Homo-oligomer: A and B are copies of this chain.
Amino acid sequence: MTYLRNAWYMAGWMDEVTVEHGLARTLLDEPVYIYRDVAGEAHALLDRCPHRFAPLSMGRRDGDVVVCAYHGLGFGGAGRCVRNPHGPVTRSLDVRSYPVAEAHRILWIWMGDPALADPMSIMDLSFLSSATEASFNNGYINGHGHYQLFVDNILDLSHTDYLHPDTLGGGAISRTRAKVMQRDDGVISIYWHVVDDVPTPLFRQFLPEKTDRVDSWTEVDWTAPGVMKLVSGAVETGGSRAGALNVENVHIFTPNTSVSTHYFFASTRNFGVDNVTLNESIRTARARIFSSEDEPMIAAQQQRMGDRDFWSLRPALLRTDEGAVKVRRRMDELIAREASELAINRNIG
A interface vs B, CB < 8 Å? Answer: 31, 47-48, 50-55, 58, 67-72, 84-87, 92-93, 152, 156, 158-159, 161-163, 174, 297, 300-301, 304-305, 313, 315-320
Please, which residues of chain B bring their CB within 8 A of the CB of A72?
158, 161-162, 174
A53-B301, A301-B54, A305-B53 in contact; A318/B162 too (CB < 8 A)?
no
Flag if B158 contacts A71 (CB, 8 Å). Answer: yes
Flag if A51 contacts B174 (CB, 8 Å). Answer: no
Q: Give the residue name and chain of the B residue nearest to A314 (CB).
A: B50
Flag if A301 contacts B86 (CB, 8 Å). Answer: no
Q: Give the residue name and chain of the B residue nearest to A88 (CB).
A: B319
Please, which residues of chain B bring their CB within 8 A of the CB of A55?
300, 304
Contact of A69 among B54, B174, B297, B318 (CB under 8 A): B297
Flag if A52 contacts B301 (CB, 8 Å). Answer: yes
Flag if B162 contacts A70 (CB, 8 Å). Answer: yes
Please, which residues of chain B bring their CB within 8 A of the CB of A85?
158, 161, 174
Flag if A51 contacts B300 (CB, 8 Å). Answer: no
Please, which residues of chain B bring their CB within 8 A of the CB of A300?
54-55, 58
Copy tally for this chain in the complex stands at: 3
Flag if B318 contacts A84 (CB, 8 Å). Answer: yes
**In the complex, the 10 A-B pairs of residues with the closest C-beta atoms, listed nearest first:** A50-B316, A72-B162, A87-B319, A53-B304, A86-B320, A86-B318, A48-B304, A53-B301, A92-B316, A85-B174
Please, which residues of chain B bring their CB within 8 A of the CB of A319?
86-87
Question: What are 8 A-B contacts with C-beta separation under 8 Å?
Answer: A50-B315, A55-B304, A70-B163, A71-B162, A72-B174, A85-B161, A86-B319, A87-B318
Closest beta carbon of chain B to A303's beta carbon, Å: 8
Please, which residues of chain B bring their CB within 8 A of the CB of A50?
315-316
Please, which residues of chain B bring their CB within 8 A of the CB of A71?
156, 158-159, 162, 318, 320
Flag if A86 contacts B162 (CB, 8 Å). Answer: no
Instruction: Using A52-B301, A54-B300 as known contacts, list a sample of 11 further A-B pairs with CB atoms less than 8 Å apart, ordered by residue number in A.
Output: A31-B304, A47-B304, A51-B318, A67-B162, A69-B297, A70-B301, A71-B320, A85-B174, A86-B318, A86-B319, A86-B320
Give Cα distance in the complex from A320 to B84, angstroms. 11
Give Cα distance in the complex from A87 to B316, angstroms. 12
Please, which residues of chain B bring their CB within 8 A of the CB of A316?
50-51, 92-93
Please, which residues of chain B bring their CB within 8 A of the CB of A93?
316
Closest beta carbon of chain B to A95's beta carbon, Å: 9
Closest beta carbon of chain B to A74's beta carbon, Å: 11
Please, which residues of chain B bring their CB within 8 A of the CB of A84?
318
Please, which residues of chain B bring their CB within 8 A of the CB of A68?
162
Q: Give the residue name and chain of the B residue nearest to A160 (CB).
A: B71
Contact of A58 among B52, B297, B305, B317 (CB under 8 A): B297
Closest beta carbon of chain B to A253's beta carbon, Å: 16
Q: Among A50, A71, A159, which residue has the most Cβ atoms of chain B within 10 A?
A: A71
Flag if B317 contacts A158 (CB, 8 Å). Answer: no
